[in-house]
Each structure stands twice: as structure tokens, then as C-alpha cells.
Structure 1
């Protein structure tokens, strides 16, 4: 009787073990063999991105995604610097020409009337977005690109334009703070964590959660060491970069474009 129980037990082990191993193997393959993917994005073409962020990324051997609004001073006054950023392998993403936002929403009194997305037609925003793609191509020569919704807004006064731009971009980044898991990632509105005042330890904790859940985490930075009301300190930003560099064996830090292409391949 004991021998029969032993055989049955071994049988159960032989059935369950491959299943667990298969799940582990599948999850490990999701992010280039790593536990998680991290995308560092920086909005609004700020001078601190060129002066503070890119040197720090280069020193750590990491790449970032920079969403440029073409009319902003930080874009048009530093064209050669952005060209160099593209040559270094950083992604130059589309953040529209004039950065319109929906002034009809709460807390948007700062939006000027001529930049009120709620008063735009869909044709207007499409022209602005596509012209920005031309501007960006003149900097880096690239055809494939990703987009970031200004203020996270996805609609004009005529309604959503998300479907209208889906063929213009590999993916578009949103602003909802959540992790992205393969099988449930909406590439028309990829979730991201907007950062404002967090410590380096808090940023690392978000990455650790992504590692535990085998997920993609996208960070949305504005100011890094100043220049924007939404800001993270240089120290906190560097602590995050140090962690990502030290854990390259288990974390894939990449651009939004490369992450989105990877998601498309595995999610399909």
C-alpha cells in the first residue's frame, strides 16, 4: 500500500513540476530573459533633460525616451543637442507641436485659450502631431516612433483621437499610474507612473513591484533637478539609475519604442 502511495506521489510530482517549470520559463522570456522591463520617459524637452539626465543615463549605460513638444524653447533652441541624443540611442518621441491640453477639466486654469485641446478639431491635432513627426525625423532620421498624450488627454472637442493616430505610432503613452502586464497592455494608452517628489527608495520600490509581478513599468518624469513644477531631485533620480545599472541581469531598461515592439511580438 505504501509503495502504491509512493508511486502515486511521484506521479503527481512528475505532472506538476513540468507545469511550474513551464510557467517560470515562459515568464522569464517575456522581457528579454529578465524579470521586468523599465522605461524611463521624460516630457516637454526641458534643458535639464539634456544637461542632467542624458549625462547620467550615459554614465549608467542606460537609454531613455524623451517626448519633445517641437515649439518649446528646449526643443527649438537645442536642435544639435537633441540630434546627439538620438545618435546616442535615446528615443525622441512625439509630444505634439504646441502641447495643447483640455482646459475644460478641473485644475486646468493655466491652459491658454489657443492651447485648449477641448476647442481643437480632431483634424487640428492630427496635423500638429504629424508635423511633429516630420520635425523629429529631421533630428534622428527615424520613421518608427511613439507618442505621449499631453496632460494625458486623449480627446478634442470632437471626441477621442486615439484610434486616429494608431497607425502613426508603435505605441502611445498615457498617465494612469499602473504596471503593464503582457496580455493586458493597451498600446494605444500605455500606463505610466507620473513622478513628483518621490525619493530614490520609493522609485526603487516601484521597480521591485514590477520585478515581482513580471511586468513593464514606465516612469513619467518632467523636471529632474528643477525647471518644472513636477520635479524629482537629482539624488532620487540617480539612486534609481544606480539600482537599474546594478541589476541589469534581472531588469531590462529600454526605450518605449523597443518595449512596445517587444510587447506587440509577445502579446500577439
Structure 2
């Protein structure tokens, strides 16, 4: 029997190892999405050049009525041509003025005084504007101030067919199966260090999850701000680890998640 067992043992020793189970993020460890809200001058002055210099792409959530959109429309168009997503952040950026800390909300932009019909119409009008800028019909939405309801009614429900996904403001690192495409989790950055942001990326790498960053001002330009140097360190890390990290606009990552969920991809 010995002469029969030895070849079998040798075969087991020399057989190739089974391939590691692939992750759902384009075969990489995780996905990281960079999002920038409110259509700021800083986006075009500092963020887009920084991203383009490293060939990284992101999502910029534009407010349809923003003067920075009207005044710098051609620059937004060029950014879209370079692969950045122009996302929908509503026409007037309405927020619920009845909630604490909302003294900045004016009567004209108070979501609590809206109807669902008005909210839907304004968001769809913003889609029309964005299509006129970038020629695209597929994009994502971001809830202004993270508010999702009007008088207890979900105003995004009638808009699900208009978008691939909607980004919220609650934090989390979901697996592909756990991503809520009607309220995608994110980490809002306001003054946190580069070390904090890099730790989040490393957590996403270790857990094979989705990490979405929410930025406003970068190097100034908004009350919510991140230091330009810290932001640059984050981008450089993402570029240096692009073999392991899928960095893409939310519209692309959400489309992949949607397909994976439809196919029944298990949580990881």
C-alpha cells in the first residue's frame, strides 16, 4: 500500500492552493468614495486639481441654485469629462428648520414647509440642469443636512428610479450586502486629522467594506472644513494603495453594489 500512498501525498503537497475568495469591490480589499458637498469654489480651486494630479475620481454634490455652479459651469463640465460625478444636492438645499442647530435655515429653504411634490420637482429640475452640464442621466443624490422626510413622509421614495443611490450622513462601514442604497453611510469630516482618515481607510481594508467620506471645505471655504494637508495625505495614501483600494465616484460603486445585491452577494 505504501507505494500507492506516496504519490497521493505528493499530489496534495504540490496541488495549487484554492484561490482566495474575491471581494465584491472590483476584486480589491475595499471601496473608498470621496464626496464633496455644496458646489464650493474650493472644489474647483483645490480639490479637483489635487484629484486630477493623482488620477483619482470623486463625487461632487452640486446645489442647483448655487452661484458657483452658474459662474463656473464650464469648469464643472470639464471636471465631469475627466470622470468626476456631478451629483444632485437639490435645487435650494432645503433643510428642516425645526431641528436643533438649524438657525441658518431661511423660510425659503425650510424643508418642513415643503410638500413632497415640491421637493421631488426641485430635485428632478436639478437633474435636468446637471444633464445639461455633463450629458449624463445616471447619478446619485445626497440629502441636504441628511434630512429624509417631510411631515413624516419619505420624499426620496418617489425618486428611487431617478437615482442609483442616495447618500446620507450617518456613519458606518457596510459590506456590499449591507449597503442601504437609499441612505448610504458616510463619515463627515470636519477638522479631523489625516491619521483619523487613514485609520478609517485601513479599517475598510481589513473588513472589506465600503467607506464614504463627506467633505465640505478643503483648506477653507466652508464652516465645515478639513486641512488641505491632511486631505492631501489621504489622497496620496489612496493612490499608493490603488491596487488594494477601489476609489471611484459613488454612482459607479453604488451601481456595482446594486448588481451584487440583486445577485444575492453574501455579506463580508
TM-score, normalised relative to structure 2: 0.90
Q: Distance in 2 between matches of 1:165 and 1:62?
A: 29
Q: Distance in 1 between matches of 2:63 and 2:113?
A: 19
Q: What runs of 5+ residues in structure 1 fail to find an aligned partner?
A: 1-9
How well do the aligned residues superpose, as a CA RMSD in angstroms? 2.0
Q: Distance in 2 between matches of 1:267 and 1:210?
A: 19
**Aligned-pair distance for 1:74?**
1.5
- What's the counterpart of residue 92 of structure 1? 86
Q: Distance in 2 between matches of 1:160 and 1:104?
A: 17
Q: Distance in 2 between matches of 1:161 and 1:177?
A: 21
Alignment partner of 1:74 is 2:57: no
Correspondence list, 1:56-205, <5 A: 56-157=50-151, 159-205=153-199
> Contact between 1:95 and 1:148, CA under 8 Å: does it hold in 2?
yes
**Aligned-pair distance for 1:158?**
5.4
SS of match in other structure, 2:60: strand
TM-score, normalised relative to structure 1: 0.90
Q: Distance in 2 between matches of 1:48 and 1:157?
A: 35
SS of match in other structure, 1:219: strand
SS of match in other structure, 1:220: strand
Which digits, 9 at most, give the CA deviation of each residue in 1:13-53, with x for residues without a partner?
Answer: 99xxx8xx57x4133xx111110000000000000000100
SS of match in other structure, 2:162: coil
Alignment partner of 1:26 is 2:28: no
**Aligned-pair distance for 1:256?**
0.3
Q: Distance in 2 between matches of 1:228 and 1:42?
A: 11
Size of the aligned set, in residue pairs, is: 253
